Chains A and B, each alone.
Chain A
Amino acid sequence: MSDASADNIVNEAEFGDYFALLKPRVMTLVVFTAFVGLLAAPVSVHPFVGFTAILFIALGGGASGALNMWYDADIDAIMRRTQKRPIPAGKVTADEAKALGIALSGLSVLMLGLASNWFAAGFLAFTIFFYVVIYTMWLKRWTPQNIVIGGAAGAFPPMIGWAAATGGVSIESVLMFALIFLWTPPHFWALALFMRNDYDNAKVPMLTVTHGRRSTRAHIFWYTVVLAVFAIAAGFTSLGGPVYLVVAGVLNIQFLIGAYRIWRRDEVGSEVDNFAEERKFFKLSLAYLFLHFGAILVEAGLDRFGVWA
């Protein structure tokens, strides 16, 4: 820095600002679902290898988050939810985020390949490509189905965890993918119903804007119906068992009731109670995903300790 102005110096980044580029909250979901995918697999992995695999799957997810922040810096500066991210806040430059994202992408793929296998590493590379190029650069600003496409990127980690253990893909890992993939749209569309202006201002084509709020409510309900079918189906594979089926049964009934109520409501009724039903559904969706994967983890643990054997 040759002309260090006072403003530049005041805004200089700390370590935490670079860490924030990796979207730590999204990384926790990646760590958790990849961990479940790895443990649910029928092949046991050395704990250190498993730990390394999860770490670099998470780092790959973080790297794609940094590349997403680099590319989306313009809309992040407009949306209230994202204005405090390191680039719009002036802490880190977009070029630094790009360099960090590219470097960590390469490192995470290489290390995952060395720790587990090259199929899993290739899968991680594809996931980063999918999230950054297909979703962020291409479809996010172009189609109202952006949430559906973006959901696919978020749904790959349990499949990568499974692949790190087994070296392949199976019906179980595809069902774990389906669980997150189909859960993402109702989760985000419920958010879009009560966080109204953010996406409009940034000109991101959310379903609420392009197809209207009535259509979004119907979409939430029908996606939830399909999600419930896949969530219950997973219970009849090696992922499931009595614990999973009870958890999935209760949660899917609650989720369907919530989605049905959102579908039947009109805007006037929603505004009267400040979108209470939509907010409740959004909160339930967080528990929904966590508890489904938690139940898969419990089943894997019970299986390993021979409880159902």
Chain B
Amino acid sequence: MTIGRQHELHKRRFSRNMGLGLVLAAFVVLVFGLTVVKVTGGNVSQAISGTTGQ
């Protein structure tokens, strides 16, 4: 079997790399979102405007 520049193998590797990349990006977004929710106590808009809600 000859392996050319555009063999199906490359598609599979691309699918793996792309999949892993997307998973890692989603994980970063998730950790960031979770941090924001935890730090602001779930009250994101108030935290952004700088009021404490007291």
Instruction: List residues of chain A with CB under 8 Å of any chain B CB.
Output: 6, 9-10, 12-16, 18-19, 46, 48-49, 52, 55, 114-115
A-contact 0/1 string along B13-40, CB 8 Å cutoff: 1011011100000000010011001100
Residues of A contacting B: mostly: helix
Q: By the criterion CB–CB under 8 Å, are B19 and A15 in contact?
A: yes
Known contacts A15-B20, A48-B37, A49-B37; decide if A6 and B12 are in contact (CB<8 Å). no
Known contacts A48-B37, A52-B30, A115-B34; decide if A13 and B12 are in contact (CB<8 Å). yes
Instruction: Give Cα A6–Cα B2 distance, bound, in whole angstroms.
Output: 9
Known contacts A6-B1, A46-B42; decide if A15 and B33 are in contact (CB<8 Å). no
Residues of chain B within 8 A of A18, CB atoms compared? 16, 19
Residues of chain B within 8 A of A48, CB atoms compared? 33-34, 37
Q: By the criterion CB–CB under 8 Å, are A9 and B3 in contact?
A: yes
Instruction: Give Cα A79–Cα B33 distance, bound, in whole angstroms.
Output: 43
Taking CB as reference atom, which chain A residue is nearest B36? Answer: A48
Chain B interface category by residue count = 10 to 19
Q: By the criterion CB–CB under 8 Å, are A14 and B16 in contact?
A: yes
Instruction: Give Cα A95–Cα B36 distance, bound, in whole angstroms.
Output: 37
Residues of chain A within 8 A of B1, CB atoms compared? 6, 9-10
Q: By the criterion CB–CB under 8 Å, are A46 and B37 in contact?
A: yes
What's the minimum C-beta distance from A22 to chain B, rounded to whole angstroms? 12
Residues of B contacting A: mostly: helix
Given contacts A49-B37, A52-B30, 12 further A-B contacts (CB under 8 A): A6-B1, A12-B12, A12-B13, A14-B11, A14-B15, A18-B16, A19-B19, A46-B42, A48-B37, A49-B34, A55-B30, A114-B34
Closest 9 CB pairs of A and B: A15-B19, A46-B42, A14-B15, A6-B1, A14-B12, A15-B15, A48-B37, A15-B16, A12-B12
Residues of chain A within 8 A of B33, CB atoms compared? 48, 52
Instruction: Give Cα A293–Cα B3 distance, bound, in whole angstroms.
Output: 51
Q: By the criterion CB–CB under 8 Å, are B42 and A13 in contact?
A: no
What's the minimum C-beta distance from B22 to chain A, rounded to whole angstroms? 9
Residues of chain B within 8 A of A10, CB atoms compared? 1, 9
Instruction: Give Cα A55–Cα B27 distance, bound, in whole angstroms.
Output: 11
Taking CB as reference atom, which chain A residue is nearest B26? Answer: A55
What's the minimum C-beta distance from B3 to chain A, rounded to whole angstroms? 7
Residues of chain A within 8 A of B18, CB atoms compared? 15
Instruction: Give Cα A48–Cα B30 distance, bound, in whole angstroms.
Output: 9
Q: By the criterion CB–CB under 8 Å, are A52 and B34 in contact?
A: yes
Taking CB as reference atom, which chain A residue is nearest B3? Answer: A9
Query: Can you spell out 8 A-B residue pairs with CB atoms less than 8 angstroms apart?
Result: A12-B9, A14-B19, A15-B19, A19-B19, A46-B37, A48-B37, A55-B30, A115-B34
What's the minimum C-beta distance from B35 to chain A, rounded to whole angstroms? 9
Residues of chain A within 8 A of B16, CB atoms compared? 13-15, 18
What's the minimum C-beta distance from A66 to chain B, rounded to whole angstroms? 15
Instruction: Give Cα A188–Cα B4 distance, bound, in whole angstroms.
Output: 48
Instruction: Give Cα A214–Cα B13 distance, bound, in whole angstroms.
Output: 51
Q: Among B1, B15, B34, find the residue whose CB has the most chain A CB atoms closer than 10 A.
A: B34
Instruction: Give Cα A114–Cα B32 distance, bound, in whole angstroms.
Output: 12
Known contacts A46-B37, A48-B33, A49-B34; decide if A16 and B42 are in contact (CB<8 Å). no
List B36-54 residues whose CB lies under 8 Å from chain A. 37-38, 42
What's the minimum C-beta distance from A118 to chain B, rounded to whole angstroms? 14
Instruction: Give Cα A55–Cα B31 distance, bound, in whole angstroms.
Output: 12
